Amino acid sequence: MSPRYLELVCPAGTPAALRAAVDAGADTVYCGFRDCTNARNYPGLNFDPDELREGIGYAHERGRHVLVAINTFPRAGDQGPWQRAVDEAAAAGADAVILADLGVLDYATRRHPGLRRHLSVQASAANAPSIAFYREHFGIRRVVLPRVLSIAEVAALVEETGVETEVFAFGSVGPMSEGRCFLSSYLTGLSPTSEGACAPASHVAYVERNGEVLSRLGTTTLNRFAPGEPAAYPTPCKGRYVTLGRASYLFEEPVGLNALGFLPELKAAGVTALKIEGRQRSRAYVSQVVGTFRAALDALARGEPPPAAALTGETEGGRETAGAYRRGWR
Amino acid sequence: MERSEPPLALLRSAATVLPPAILNRLAAAVVRGLERTRPKLIANFAQLPAAVVVVAPTDLPYRFALSVGRRPVALRIVDGDPGPADAGVSGDVATLIDLVEGRIDGDSLFFRRDLVISGDTAVVVGLRNVLDREELSVAGELGALCGPLRPQARAVARALDRALDGLGRRLAAMHRTLHPPGDRPPDVAAEIDRCRGEIAALTARLAALEARQKRRDERDA
């Protein structure tokens, strides 16, 4: 592997995906337990404690790191699962835990002071005083920045806070008030921030009708895709709504974030790590996206231009965007 | 388990030629084999919510009904109505095998509309995730049925697959020779128009006969 240009942090929803990420060139892999303590709580996904131990062993043998996301918010009066998750991550030898809730941060700080703590994007810390608060009170070493900042704003935060920053390089994009979005709970009755799933699969339905596909969340139809039109996830922020007689994407279009084209700018901004989103995706996606970013980072580390690569086949809606990095937030 | 390209032509031909009774015996043997070689896969299937998922390859005459969320996990192959199902997945057989073997991403297929999902989405997502935890090889799992004769069986399967693939190409070429692109297809629209005209004429003639009969009946009365 070439000298590190930017740390490549990659998703793993299963032990097989973890191995795929490591084999494809991830510096670091993040994953979560099979329960409500992480924000990708989907059926059949995630790790039990034994699988986590084995996965960490696989990564460490190859000089890579594993982070454990415990990044949902405990239900009132029910800290138990979140505290157990922190204990199990520490016992399994995780290199860091990714946390969002103040109580869970406090527990990890007191109970496992030697365990590195990262601030999850779910904490939605997007300004210097907020990040400084988490650094001073909970000793966070890294903040995962919300997808609402321009590159100039990221650079300013790096300068002001002195905390490592991890930014999203590939995956979903939405009108994020991350960790504070309850849109899907109005349609499903389930909280995305405590149950760990926005648009939970149990409430999603796809209906094929005359070549069109209707996507539904609960009893609400969120979108209708014409024959051949690329489809998207049924999340409320990417629904197509009729206003003034016209159907349009009011909040955000179904597109995927791809920062492959401006990695040097992110490095110049002082970013430490790039995050690939997609623990709910397959190991085929992980291999493809991680391999592409690995090749680009290695080329840049050698002072060469990154090889041409197309990842639109992996993006939601079959389209890519630079998100807020280029245009700032609306 | 060795990973190799699935013998698609052989699988398609076997699924087309063999009767459901034999295919079902093969399916039961595959599930029994997986219980021995991949107990975690079967345990994860059993942990899913109880459901029947019907997988419908668009280019095969059969459907696969997989019962999960219980022990034993069961796989049935049916050529008619598979009965009540909780969820369905549909796509061509090559795509479905790529999905099972982890060569392709299910969400990407869905975005491109190459995979159709119906019914209980949680069951389909759970099934996809459980399969993706394993590094499965369809050819390998089928080959395992042959026990110690697996290497010979693989060699025979490869040879048969190549022969069937070649036969398919020759038949396609023969079809193109017999039906060259210059052959004009019958003008269906003109034929429909002709039939419509004939029906209209017959209807008018029937009406005239009925009217004549009615007049006769009135006169005789």
Q: How far is A283 from chain B (nearest CA, A)?
A: 7
- All structural domains of chain B with their residue ranges: 8-171, 189-221
Q: What confidence score (pLDDT) does residue A276 get?
A: 97
Q: Is A285 on the interface with B (CB under 8 A)?
A: yes
Asked whether the beta carbons of residue B129 and residue A316 sit closer than 8 angstroms, the reply is: no
Domain A7-173+255-327 of CATH type 3.40.50.2000: no
Instruction: Answer whether B79's CB lies under 8 Å from B23's CB.
Output: no
Select from B98, B108, B112 the residue whose CB has the most chain A CBs within 10 Å, as the one to mutate to test that interface: B108
Other Cβ atoms less than 10 A from the Cβ of A113: the count is 9
Confidence of residue B85 (pLDDT cuts 50, 70, 90): very high
Tell whether the model's pLDDT for residue B185 goes beyond 70: no
Asked whether the beta carbons of residue B121 and residue A230 sit closer than 8 angstroms, the reply is: no
Instruction: Answer whether A295's CB lies under 8 Å from A306's CB.
Output: yes
Instruction: Answer whether B147's CB lies under 8 Å from A30's CB.
Output: no
Mean pLDDT for A200-206 is 88
H-run or E-run covering B66: strand B63-68
Q: Is B66 on the interface with A (CB under 8 A)?
A: no
Which segments within chain A are labelled E, that is strand? Answer: 7-11, 28-31, 65-70, 96-99, 117-119, 142-144, 164-172, 204-209, 212-217, 220-225, 240-243, 246-249, 256-258, 273-276, 320-321
Q: Is A208 on the interface with B (CB under 8 A)?
A: yes
| Candidates 3.30.465.10, 3.30.1050.10, 3.50.50.60, 1.10.260.30; CATH matching B8-171 | 3.30.1050.10
Q: Which residues of B touch A284 (CB under 8 A)?
A: 102-105
Q: Is A52 helix (H, G, I), strand (E, B) or coil?
A: helix
**Inter-helix orientation angle A102-111/A80-92, to 10°:** 40
Other Cβ atoms less than 10 A from the Cβ of B217: the count is 9
Q: Is A238 on the interface with B (CB under 8 A)?
A: no
Asked whether the beta carbons of residue B126 and residue A43 sit closer than 8 angstroms, the reply is: yes
In chain B, positions 36-55, which contact chain A (CB-CB < 8 Å)? 44, 48-49
Q: Which residues of B touch A44 (CB under 8 A)?
A: 44, 48, 125-130, 133
Cα separation, A93 vs A57, in Å, equals 9
Cα separation, A39 vs A194, in Å, equals 8
Closest chain A CA to residue B136: A16
Q: How far is B194 from chain A (nearest CA, A)?
A: 30
Q: How far is A285 from chain B (nearest CA, A)?
A: 6
Q: Is B104 on the interface with A (CB under 8 A)?
A: yes
- All structural domains of chain A with their residue ranges: 7-173+255-327, 195-249
pLDDT tens-digit profile of A64-104?
999 999 999 998 889 999 999 999 999 999 999 999 999 99
pLDDT tens-digit profile of A230-260?
888 888 888 999 998 998 988 888 888 999 9
ipTM: 0.86
Asked whether the beta carbons of residue A280 and residue B107 sit closer than 8 angstroms, the reply is: yes
Q: What confidence score (pLDDT) does residue B158 get?
A: 66
Lowest-pLDDT choice from A14-28, A148-162, A221-235 = A221-235
- Top pLDDT among B107 and B174 is at B107
What is the number of CB-based contacts under 8 A between chain A and chain B?
95
Closest chain B CA to residue A285: B105
Confidence of residue A1 (pLDDT cuts 50, 70, 90): very low
Q: Is B135 on the interface with A (CB under 8 A)?
A: yes
Mean pLDDT for A252-273 is 93
Q: How far is B102 from chain A (nearest CA, A)?
A: 6
Instruction: Answer whether A287's CB lies under 8 Å from A24's CB.
Output: yes
